[in-house]
Structure 1
Amino acid sequence: MTHRTTSRLTLQAVLFDMDGTLVDTERLWWEAVEQVADGLGRPLTGADQAEVLGRPVEYTAAWLGGITDAPAEEIAAELHREFADRVRTGIVPRPGALRLLQELVHEGVPTALVTASPRAVADTVLEALGAGHFAVSVTADDTERTKPAPDPYLAACRALGVEPAACVAVEDTQTGVTSAEAAGCAVLAVPSLAPIAPAAGRTVLASLEEVTPARLRAMVAPRELRVMSWNLWYGGTKVDDHREKQLKAIAETGADVVGLQETYGNAAEELAEALRWHHHRAGENLGVISRYPITARLGDPDVGFYGGTGVRIRLDGGQEVDVWTAHLDYTPYGPYEAAFDRLPANELIAHEAVRLEQMREILRGIAESATDATPVVLVGDFNAPSHLDRPDVEWPVTKAAEEAGLRDSYREAHPDPVRDPGHTWSPIHGEHEDGSGRPEPQDRIDFVLHRGLRVRDSRTFVSGTPRPWPDVAGNHWPSDHAAVVTTFDVPRAD
């Protein structure tokens, strides 16, 4: 069975204005209106740009008719003639336009031409640019209302079968920007004559020469990255139908990347294959699976049962993030020594020496592979509490990670450890396994740490209500740890 998690917004189409955006017709249109206006005895001024640029012929004709008392129908016919003559003889593609169209076609991104010009003019331009660059064209003749109403862009999206929010509209006038934004598109403005101010959901550039398909993808690409840390517990083999239950749990969390521990061989490969994701396996115990492409594998590929491994993933839009997963030695286990043996803080800290060195080795690997500008996520089962949770003990493993610049995402989202303990050990162990009846110390020993990101949310995750050990074979949740799932905001690549 193939499992798919909820799809995220990716670039579905690019919708291009024509006049002044792809071809230098805004100047030709202005000259045509200027010619007609001069003939009517009312020369244009810079203050008239809002009535001319980006406007359909009928709008400008009605405006000129209103201020000159000439019949609007006759003005419109003359504007059509003057503009068409100039287009046929003076059309010039804007810098970068043809290159960008060709790159989008090469990468399989659908494009549409969306213009306030009439069909006759648009077809002349399409012939000059190459009609094969466009899957759809929408002109002033094709919708009841044209720009600045949203109708032309909505019509283009319907014709392409795409969502406006997953499209970038490329415009050169405020009129066109208003139309595209009203339709719900992200907007790339490349002003031709009049300036356009940046705004939320709007990018303003000087030229199409600065634009690439990757940059357009970044405008609609998710700024969200959801990372999950999960100890699979002997690969999940203690629970019936464990692989199916693991896949369902990943789907329920909506994770984009999962750092795995206790994979016991092929878990990463099998999960990634079922999800149609990418994967990395290191040794017999560690793995990372990712919906995003893995561009590099980091750390020792033959790491032992304990240690760390990492990958570099590339998000839509080009931003790269390093994601590491770690599993640290479980013995001696500090919470047992604190609860059962009543060891003082200095001895508890001293007994963390093995895990501390394992963490330091992982941190060295992170430092060697990532620049200061590279966002980093380190997840894992550290088998140690956090110094942020127990003020009486300065637990050194998480402290070392903090000193290396990594922040605890769960504690950022939930700063009060009393109100939100975030225990991950253990959803199936309420009593200690030795049969004494002693309560099992509950603690937060699984983490999602980060550098260079912003935490939107973090939570622990367990599906269903697991039965306690040893009656676990029928559990819906196939692990003895809770997972940790953190949603990050990711900075744009550019």
Structure 2
Amino acid sequence: MSTEPAPLPPSPLDTWPPSWSPAAVVFDCDGLLVDTEGQWVQVQDAYLARHGTALDPTVRRALTGRAAEVVVLTIAEAVGRAPEEVVRDLLAEHRRHLEDELTPLPGALDTVRAAADRVPVAIASNSPREMLDRKLAGLGLTDLVDASIAIEDVAAPKPAPDMYLAAARALGADPADCLGLEDSETGAQAAVAAGLQLIAVPSIPGQEPLAPRRLDSLADPALAAWISTWEVRR
């Protein structure tokens, strides 16, 4: 049986830049807008190393972008400790990183601002609400976005489609008319399953998110030029 992923259906993003104009945009946060996904992975790997172990590269790749609960259970099994102890230690260290100045990824803030000038915008993140709100405040995005979806807001986190469906609903748009932007394979699965048009901008080595369009950076000048042509829906 073939393990190759099913081909994506035709998308307006198959041509670049597209002539299509989205009704709304849903951004991921960690690893797309801010370099917290990489920091979170480093926290996990350092914790594993302190306990004399490491994750298989295939497992590490699959965990990227997943909910903290899934990450913690995998690491707890690897180090032979109770999940409650692991989540306490990992999240405490990750929160310390968030207390430092957040580092936006190239083009991230300009892209969110440009999109929000023209259409409704949401953030959809597998982060807990408290941590997502802290990141949005640190990036100066709290008052710019129309909605934010955290892990507590849905029945199932990414890679399930729930988060993107909730974001589209909050923005009053059909998912097929929404543009999603993601960095991870996990997030891309969620956005595609929800029916969004998707641009992938991977920032962590080894991630190969399946999407109709892939860019190296949100600082891509063609992306900025395309956004400037969107129909204003505010």
TM-score (norm 2): 0.81
SS at 2:219 equivalent: helix
- Please say if 1:183 is aligned against 2:194: yes
Match of 1:32 among 43, 49, 53: 43
Q: Which amino acid aligns with 2:150?
A: T
Identity across matched positions, percent: 34
- Relative to structure 1, the CA distance from residue 197 to residue 149 in structure 2 (aligned partners, 3 Å threshold; closer, same or farther) is closer
Q: How does 1:10-409 map to 2 (within 5 A)?
A: 10-44=21-55, 46-107=57-118, 109-130=119-140, 131-193=142-204, 194-196=206-208, 199=211, 202-210=212-220, 211-212=223-224, 214=226
1:110 CA drift (Å): 1.0
Paired residue secondary structure (1:177): helix
* Contact preservation (8 Å) 1:173, 1:191: yes
1:239-283 per-position Cα deviation (integer Å, ceiling 9, x unaligned): xxxxxxxxxxxxxxxxxxxxxxxxxxxxxxxxxxxxxxxxxxxxx
In the alignment, the residues of structure 1 paired with residue 194 and residue 216 of structure 2 have an alpha-carbon distance, to the nearest angstrom, of 24
Q: 2:216 is matched by which residue type in structure 1?
A: A
- What is the CA distance between 1:213 and its match in structure 2? 6.5
CA distance in structure 1 between the aligned counterparts of 2:48 and 2:83, rounded to whole angstroms: 12
Q: AA paired with 1:73?
A: E
In structure 2, distance between residues paired with 1:90 and 1:40 = 29
CA contact (8 A) 2:23 2:178 kept: yes
Give the Cα–Cα distance (whole angstroms) in 1 for the partners of residues 224 and 37 of structure 2.
23
Aligned mates of 2:228, 2:197 — CA distance in 1: 9
- Give the number of the structure whose alpha-carbon radius of gyration is greater: 1
* Separation (CA, whole Å) in 2 of partners of 1:44 and 1:138: 29
**1:424-459 per-position Cα deviation (integer Å, ceiling 9, x unaligned):** xxxxxxxxxxxxxxxxxxxxxxxxxxxxxxxxxxxx
Structure with the larger helix share: 2
Amino acid paired to 2:214: V
Matching residue's letter, 1:169: G
Change (3 A) 1:205 1:144: same
Letter in 2 for 1:13: A
User: What is the count of residue pairs matched by the alignment?
Assistant: 208
Runs of 4+ deviating beyond 6 Å: none
Cα shift at 1:45: 5.4
Counterpart-to-counterpart distance in 2, 1:216 and 1:206: 20
Question: 2: distance between equivalents of 1:63 and 1:30?
Answer: 13
Q: How far apart, in 2, do the equivalents of 1:127 and 1:45 lie?
A: 35
Runs (5+) with no aligned partner, structure 2:
1-19
Specify which structure has the bigger relative contact order, considering alpha-carbon pairs within 8 angstroms and separated by 6 or more residues.
2
| Residues 73 and 216 (structure 1), Cα distance of their counterparts in 2 relative to 1, 3 Å cut | farther
What are the ranges of 5 or more consecutive residues in structure 1 without an aligned counterpart? 1-8, 219-315, 317-494
| Contact preservation (8 Å) 2:62, 2:186 | no
**The 10-residue stretch of structure 1 (60-69 or 120-129) with the greater mean CA deviation from structure 2:** 60-69
SS at structure 1 position matched to 2:100: helix
Counterpart for residue 482 of structure 1: none
Q: Residues of 2 paired with 1:216 and 1:189: CA distance?
A: 20
- Deviation by residue 1:357-376 (Cα, 9 ceiling, x = unmatched): xxxxxxxxxxxxxxxxxxxx
Q: State the AA in 2 paired with 1:137.
A: S
C-alpha displacement of 1:177: 0.1
How does the TM-score come out when normalised to structure 1? Answer: 0.40
8 Å Cα contact 2:114/2:228 also seen in 1: no
How far 1:41 sits from its partner (Å)? 2.7
Q: Using the alignment, how far apart are the partners of 2:156 and 2:210 within structure 1?
A: 26
Aligned to 1:445: none
Aligned to 2:53, the other structure's residue is in SS state coil
State how far apart, in whole Å, the 2-side matches of 1:209 and 1:189 are: 13
